[in-house]
Amino acid sequence: MSVKYKLVVKKNLGNDKKDIPEKKYAQIVSGDFVGFDEFVEEVGDSSGVGSAVVKAVLDRMNVILVRHLQHGRRVTVGELGTFRFTIGSSGVTDEKSFDTNLIREPKVRFFPGKALRTIKSQVSFEKLSEKKDEENGGGDRPEIE
């Protein structure tokens, strides 16, 4: 399988932007959405436990992950990867002027584990064909008569 992409026109932010104001860039075309229930059922089927057990474990994992992140800890979830908070703040000229209200809302950062990092280098890409569906009026817009 390959990851599908299409070319989209975007503003050129490179050094040649004066000569070439727009360029075409690759953009992923997402495939089918895998919902939580489908994902849980597939994990359950391939691991020998029921989907209810998988749901319970994932729910508990979420609770524990939140608890540790709230204490400023980094949490490694096996080969899946590591979660941690990152923060930013407004700057001050001297330390006495700093107040915690200057800290922006934390963001959760995820660093993929080895399996997810490895698969990134193994991905192949396929350009999505731009064929129009002639039977249905040639596109995704309704035909107005």
pLDDT for 50 beyond 80:
yes
The pTM for the full model equals 0.70
Question: Going by C-beta distance under 8 Å and a sequence separation of 6 or more, which residues neighbour residue 17?
Answer: 11
* Residue-level pLDDT at 139: 57
Q: What is the mean pLDDT of residues 3-18?
A: 92
* Residue-level pLDDT at 129: 84
* Residue-level pLDDT at 131: 65
Q: What is the mean pLDDT of residues 61-83?
A: 97
What percent of the chain is predicted at pLDDT more than 90? 79
Beta strands in the chain (DSSP E): 3-11, 22-28, 75-77, 81-86, 107-112, 125-127
CB of 79 closer than 8 Å to CB of 119: no
How far apart are alpha carbons 118 and 110 in whole angstroms? Answer: 16
* Residue-level pLDDT at 78: 93
* Alpha-helix runs per DSSP H in 1-145: 36-47, 51-70, 114-121
Question: Going by C-beta distance under 8 Å and a sequence separation of 6 or more, which residues neighbour residue 98?
Answer: 89, 92
Nearest alpha carbon to residue 29 among 95, 105, 125, 121: 125
Q: Which residue has the higher pLDDT, 24 or 131?
A: 24
How far apart are alpha carbons 82 and 61 in whole angstroms? Answer: 13
Q: What is the mean pLDDT of residues 52-65?
A: 96
* Residue-level pLDDT at 144: 64
Q: Which two tokens stand for residue 66?
A: 């939140």
Task: Name the residue ranges covered by the structural domains of the chain.
Answer: 1-31
